[in-house]
Structure 1
Amino acid sequence: MTLLFTHPDASRHRTPPGHPEQVARVAAVETALAPLGLTRRESPLAEESLLRLCHPQAYIDRIKSAEPASGTAQIDADTWMSPGSWDAALRAVGGACAAVDAVLSGHPNAFVLARPPGHHAETATPMGFCLFGTVAIAAKHALKSVAKVAVVDFDVHHGNGTQDLLWNENNVLFITSQQMPLWPGTGDASEKGAHDQIMNLPLPPGSGGTQMRAAYAPALARLRAFAPDLLIISAGFDAHEADPLAQLNWVEEDYTWLTRQLCDLCPRVVSVLEGGYDLDALGASAAAHVAVLQEQS
């Protein structure tokens, strides 16, 4: 059975009215996943030692102290904190690392329903709704137990934070597809990491599933050759044609196809929610993605 790691603290992280990264995203995914009958696990609070796998203590302290006593506080152009944001971010990291431990202990796969997302947070910079590099931390945590980890990020926005945090990590293959041009402006194919272990797949605005499949063909071949012990997915669903923040035209069947390709290449999978801002499309796409994980478990 696929494990679902989540915690009510995900809904305690609040953003201002009208902000796309809203509490309702959790309910949309919960409702869509309910028919799948996943085995639920509570996401633990991450210890700060996990955060230090990717972030310096001074940055951790800065984020902790930025949490307001009431209301919301802006810490970046589009990144906010509220009372409860610190715990929500720790649950996201804790859930991802607990999912890694569970999968490496014998469970086939897991999905982590958490917010805030994480793939834009750089070493000492919060941005793009993100506070800590959840997936990068989970990958470095996994390397305590296995030799090779792959990270695949199919969020429509480039995972600049994950790229920054894994730039020098020789034992992690990072494959990321993203619309380009689009915020944050990174993700060109020339960005390859310190050990040529990063593979960027820029996709033009207006493109859909056919172009995505073609772009992923060499990436899937490289993933097969890399033969990771664990695959971690940054599962953003904002490449969907209904999403308001970008201009790719993926549909649910595209997430099904890509998830199946990835699972066929590595049976041990941890998937972590990133973006997706049209609530109906988010729920439907997440359900399509997790249904494939269920098939594999």
Structure 2
Amino acid sequence: MTTLLIFLGFIACLAFVIGYVVYQTKDKQDKEVERQRKLRLLRSEATRVQRLIDEIPEHLMTQPIRLMLARIWQNRLQAQQDLGEQDPEFVRTFNRANQYLAQTQASGELSGDPISNIEQGQQISHALKDLHTFVMQLYREKKLPENVTQQFSSHIHQTVTRVIVEMYQQNAAQAIEDDKPRLAIIHLERVIKELNKFKNEPNHPYRQIVKDARHTIERLKKEADNQETKGANTLADGLNDMEKEEQFMSDIERAKADATQKMKAAR
């Protein structure tokens, strides 16, 4: 009886130990799965913010917007480090984020070059729209106050307009340089169309740009008309030359025919 009790006790202890080991293993696996899930989420958020920082020129964002992005980027990377992320590429990115945050805190509003081509303008416009989506997401998640959200949203919308205007202005300047006034007019008309969105605002920030664009269009229309007149005259001259050449060739053919007839008659 005593032996049986000892045996049953041993079995019970063994079952307890096995159960404990299984539980610990399962718990460890669950924690690792959760850690990996958090890391994936943090990586995704950090990558999204980093892309906005990389694709939008700094001078097109106010310092508060840049600070917001810098802090979120650094925060997401810090959380990854706290979860044990030690990849060398991650460490380099984390160091860069810390440097960017420090630089942004020390800087004010920045200046930069205008948009130089359509491809660049389109890329920046898309990135700005993504930034606006991100800002609204933070607001919905109650991570951004309403007044700050409105300020950021207003600035982003104005910046998108600025990018589009600069893009068309550069295209118009290139067309003028290439002596293509009609093409330049098209780009300047796009500038006016874009800025007319603000025409009913009391403090229209782009009145002078619209005025200058219209003045330039009037000048370019005259140049385009002159080009077309010259082109028409050149075409007319060309047609006259062709007609003269055809008449000349006809006269030659008739002269040949007459000479042939005369030669036959002489025979």
Structure with more of its chain in strand, by fraction: 1
TM > 0.5 fold call = no
Max Rg structure: 2
Give the TM-score normalised by the residue count of structure 2: 0.23
Larger RCO (alpha carbons 8 Å, 6+ apart): 1
More helix by share: 2
